[in-house]
Amino acid sequence: MKVIHLVSELRQWRKEVGSGRVVLVPTMGALHEGHLKLIEVARELAGPKGQVGVSIFVNPLQFGPNEDFGRYPRELEADCARCESAAADVVFAPSVDEVYPKDRSVIILETSLSKVLCGASRPGHFDGVGTVVAKLFNYFTPDDAVFGTKDYQQLAIIRRMVRDLNFPLAIHGVDTVREPDGLAMSSRNRYLSTNERSEAPALRGALQLIREAFHAGETSAATLRGLALNHLSANAPSGALDYLELVDAENLQPVAEVNSHTVVAVAYRFSKARLIDNLELA
């Protein structure tokens, strides 16, 4: 496995691999089993003759001024070992200066899907996501890219960007990998205190409560949301709600009556960690 830090070297690598299938897994590092699942799916897509590329880059453009860019875990050596064990072919780990010129003045701006959920509470976040992902697509020119569905809004925005800007690749979503107690795996879970970690699975519990009630016949979004909020209040009192919304799976707009095309999305803040999760009601 090769580790590359410069765009020029990555482009040379891409030229050398030629026309074989290239599958990209973009990450910010601090890799866990969820990331390794993405690499596993990428390896299956690439096949024995294809190439799997993993990017490891903590992207400053997607962090707000009071967020955790400075303390986000950076463990490149361990991450590269994990990538190699998962049969990746190349890791691209550039510096911030390598990705962004000092006088940069162009960003990718999504104007619809990014205005709700995480986009409403983290202004500018998805501008940063779209910009760095577009750059990675230009660097790797992949045939496919693989993302986790835990970041449901991010996945929807990237799919929209690929469609609207005619990027010639396929986007694949991979189901969220979870801890035994249901908590979605996240690099930020390590920020949780012991007590907060014991409460965090309540996010998944709240989403499942909504799905169970929906399958039992309840379709009022307000009623279902109330059930989930009561569950979170009772079972995760150390944290605070950022949002819990029932939205259309395609346009991410809140719905009054839910159906099998509805997604429940939640963001919850603990002392040092903001966790997200979602559940499709289908």
267 alpha-carbon distance from chain centroid? 13
Q: What does the DSSP assignment read for 40-94?
A: HHHHHHH-TTSEEEEEE---GGGS-TTSSTTTS---HHHHHHHHHHTT-SEEE--
C-alpha span between 4 and 80 (Å, rounded)? 11
Rounded to 5 degrees, what are φ and ψ at 52? Answer: -110, 120
For 129, the 3-state DSSP assignment is helix
C-alpha span between 156 and 147 (Å, rounded)? 10
Report the 10 Å Cβ neighbour count for 106: 8
- Spatial strand order of the sheet with 22-27 comes to 2-4, 90-92, 51-56, 22-27, 144-148, 170-174
* Tokens encoding 202: 């309540």
Q: State yes or no: is 35 an active-site residue.
A: yes
From 5, 32, 35, 261, active-site residue: 35
Q: Active-site positions? A: 35
